Amino acid sequence: MSAPTYDLGTLHGGLRLDAHKGASTRMPMQTMPIPERLVLPLDQHVGEAATPVVAAGDRVLRGQLIARQSGAIGAAVHASTSGTVVAIEPRPVARRHGDPAPCIVLESDGEDRAVEPAKTPGSPGETRPEQLAARILDGGIVGLGGAVFPTAAKLADARSAGLDTLILNGVECEPWISCDDTLMRERADAIVAGGRLLLEVLGIDTAYLAVESDKPEALDALADALGRSGDERFRLKQVPTIYPSGAEDQLVQLVANREVPSGGLPTDAGCLVQNVGTAAAVYDWIERGEPLISRITTVTGPGVANPMNVLVRLGTPVADVIAFAGGYTDAARHLVIGGSMTGKSMSTDRVPVVKGTNCILVLTEARSSGAVRACIRCGECAAVCPIRLLPQQLHWFAAADDESALREHGLLDCIECGCCDLVCPSHLPLTTTFRSAKARIRELEDEKARARRARRRFEARRERLAREEETLSADLDRQKRVAKSAGADAIAEIMRRKRRQDDD
């Protein structure tokens, strides 16, 4: 039942990269001590930032809700340990490349006392899947593969879309990162249990566990866990080690052999993809009452003395994690949060580990290599693009700021995997160009929406003014009619009275 299977769809392009994962998986997972100060950003996820429910000076316990989810798409934040809230203020965060964003600063009391997990108020007649879905919302769980989309919102979408396949993503195709590999080796049972909960929420009974072929230990651990659970609904799928086979749409293509339509989501192909870490987090919250307050992070790269995977409380400064891994080597030059392909370069290590921090990578040189030259139209970029886009064409259109051509050529489907950058012999910063072109298109869309609204208001105002004008002239007409019908004597009488008043 749980022998890895291979019948796969195909992936266009992609790259076989040096994985660099061995360094951080040499030793088993380490657990980091709780630091004195934790910094918990309010927007660790896609969607609206959470709203604080504590104030400076409040004492909190581990797992206590400190910021509630706001907006339709959002996630709650919980205290990572017990202690005192010392401030709610802007601090540098990784999501903004080290620029400040609102954070709750927590001072640990060293006792790490847990709160009794709050019950999710249920409504009568609620089915078990509905209860579970509501419960997941309260756990502050987000997609831990890096996209940090709130899991509850994703599940709600999936439930209404009606789908048949759950894919647990353990591919982890990006170089350097090995936190999912570590999780699969150490906590395979939690992943399977979380997957079973997700199947229950979705009301479906097909699930794939997808793992890259370069992770034999993880494959073995998952096969064992599946054997122990005896759950026939899961199938282990081994996928080839090609970057970016772990990207959502690409994984759907590989595992289910279905194509996600342009502009669509995996749900449009009847699939839901969840990271294995997310599944384990769902298990931890539902069965053990522990919300998302810690995660496994890979700290690695030639700039780190002792690469490893560590279990870290959210809010721990990145600098502390690097120090725990033996500190920087002399050659360390460049800090990246995330992997070498899609990670964000940081100017400071004073940012905290958050829900989406899968990797802390210290390199000995900046990632861009070589001087930028003109495009020679070699077409290498088109050959490796997993979306089958034409990066060299998009590059010209972006330079010309030609919005409609960019749209026509599918810019909005670009997943920013960075393959085109890597193969470009002219070292063009293609992904960066595409990212800003996308932002520009979104900006134009916003502008258009604003213009439409202003026009509606302008027209409504004109109508209102016309209406007022009409009422006014109708009133005048009426007064004239009244005066006329009263006759000349009455008017003369009024004029006399007025003159008398003026004389007085």
Closer CB to other proteins, 128 or 452, in the complex:
452
| Interaction between residue 461 and other proteins (CB under 8 A) | yes
Q: Please name the residues in contact with 421: beta carbons below 8 A apart, sequence gap of 6 or more.
A: 428, 429, 430, 431
| Interaction between residue 454 and other proteins (CB under 8 A) | yes
Closer CB to other proteins, 453 or 499, in the complex:
453
Shortest spacing between CB 403 and other proteins, in angstroms: 10
Shortest spacing between CB 117 and other proteins, in angstroms: 39
CB-CB contact of 335 with 345 (8 Å) = yes
Neighbours of 499 (CB within 10 A): 10
Shortest spacing between CB 404 and other proteins, in angstroms: 10
Which residue in this structure is represented by tokens 């979705």? 202
When binding is defined by CB under 8 A, the residue of 453, 478, 496, 497 that contacts other proteins is: 453
Neighbours of 301 (CB within 10 A): 27
Strand order in the sheet with 65-68: 51-52, 65-68, 77-78
Q: Which stretch binds other proteins (CB under 8 A): 110-118, 202-210, 317-325, 446-454?
A: 446-454
Q: Which stretch binds other proteins (CB under 8 A): 51-59, 184-192, 224-232, 454-462?
A: 454-462
What torsion do the CA atoms of 328, 212, 369, 342 make, to the nearest 10 degrees? -80
Shortest spacing between CB 452 and other proteins, in angstroms: 7
Q: What is the per-residue burial (b if ≥16 Cβ within 10 Å, else e) of 139-164?
A: bbbbbbbbebbbbbbbbbebbeeebe
Tell me the H-state helices in 230-302: 248-256, 276-288
Which residue in this structure is represented by tokens 């080690």? 241
| Interaction between residue 450 and other proteins (CB under 8 A) | yes
Q: Which stretch binds other proteins (CB under 8 A): 98-106, 238-246, 314-322, 449-457?
A: 449-457
Shortest spacing between CB 405 and other proteins, in angstroms: 13
Spatial separation of the C-alpha atoms in residues 254 and 487, rounded to whole Å: 93
Shortest spacing between CB 448 and other proteins, in angstroms: 9
SS (H, E, C) 417-447: CCHHHHHCCCCCCHHHHHHHHHHHHHHHHHH
262 to 291, contacts with other proteins by CB under 8 A?
none
Token pair, residue 18, equals 């040096």
Closer CB to other proteins, 460 or 466, in the complex:
460
Which residue in this structure is represented by tokens 């990066």? 391
When binding is defined by CB under 8 A, the residue of 1, 439, 451, 492 that contacts other proteins is: 451
The sign of the torsion formed by the CA atoms of 91, 92, 94, 96 equals positive
Amino acid at the residue 2? S
Closer CB to other proteins, 96 or 452, in the complex:
452
Shortest spacing between CB 238 and other proteins, in angstroms: 49
Token pair, residue 184, equals 């699969």
Closer CB to other proteins, 113 or 450, in the complex:
450
When binding is defined by CB under 8 A, the residue of 460, 491, 492, 495 that contacts other proteins is: 460
Closer CB to other proteins, 442 or 461, in the complex:
461
Burial class for 468, CB neighbours closer than 10 Å (0-12, 13-18, 19+): exposed
Shortest spacing between CB 458 and other proteins, in angstroms: 5
When binding is defined by CB under 8 A, the residue of 458, 470, 476, 479 that contacts other proteins is: 458
Shortest spacing between CB 472 and other proteins, in angstroms: 14
| Interaction between residue 407 and other proteins (CB under 8 A) | no
The sign of the torsion formed by the CA atoms of 252, 254, 259, 261 equals positive
Q: Please name the residues in contact with 288: beta carbons below 8 A apart, sequence gap of 6 or more.
A: none
Shortest spacing between CB 468 and other proteins, in angstroms: 11
- Number of residues located near other proteins, criterion CB under 8 A: 12
463 to 492, contacts with other proteins by CB under 8 A?
464
When binding is defined by CB under 8 A, the residue of 287, 445, 447, 475 that contacts other proteins is: 447
Spatial separation of the C-alpha atoms in residues 75 and 430, rounded to whole Å: 32
Contact footprint for other proteins (CB under 8 A): 447, 450-455, 457-458, 460-461, 464
